[in-house]
Amino acid sequence: MENRSFYNEILTEHNIHPEFKYDMPDADIVLEGVNPSCGDDIFLKLKLDGDVISDGAFIGDGCAISQASADIMLGMIIGKHKDEALKLGETFLKMIQGEASEEEIDSLEEASALRDIAHMPARVKCAVLGWRTLKEALGNHDEA
């Protein structure tokens, strides 16, 4: 049976073999993110070196979209300045809302594999769970 769903290889690979899904007991910031609709529940763990995210990981469980999205996100933000990570988060949100330009979507690298979620309102919360938690963790409580 051909795969008519949007579960592409990037997504399934990050879901089954996540690079950053492990416990990080000495993290500087730990924040739980919950998405009640799918029961997704993650703990985002970050280490900071000044304003730079020096390392990060997550634990928890949930649907493939939430898990893959969080894993992809960590791969993109580690080593980046807080502001840069938050900027990526904003672009990601724009993409999910179907408002990002092709150029902006390109800047999201692997996270652009989730662009089709824009057409699936029920799963948007899964895709943004990691990014939303990141935004809260970095103390930016401006409009979500």
Residues at the contact surface with other proteins, assessed by CB under 8 A? 1, 3-5, 7, 9, 12-13, 15-16, 37-39, 61-65, 120, 123, 126
**Closest distance to other proteins from the beta carbon of 111 (Å):** 18
Nearer to other proteins by Cβ, of 39 and 98: the residue is 39
Nearer to other proteins, 128 or 138 (CB): 128
Q: Which residues lie across from 33 on neighbouring strands?
A: 42
| Cβ-based burial of 79 (10 A; exposed 0-12, middle 13-18, buried ≥19) | middle
| Residue nearer to other proteins on the CB measure, 90 or 110 | 110
Classify the C-alpha dihedral 136-104-119-73 as positive or negative. Answer: negative
Minimum distance, C-beta of residue 62 to other proteins, in the bound complex (Å): 7
Other CB atoms closer than 10 Å to residue 141's CB: what's the count? 8
> What minimum distance in Å lies between the beta carbon of 96 and other proteins?
16
Q: How far is the CB of 37 from other proteins (least distance, A)?
A: 8
Q: How many CA atoms lie within 13 A of 5 on its CB side?
A: 8
d(C-alpha 52, C-alpha 83), whole Å:
9
Of 2 and 142, which CB lies nearer to other proteins in the complex structure? 2
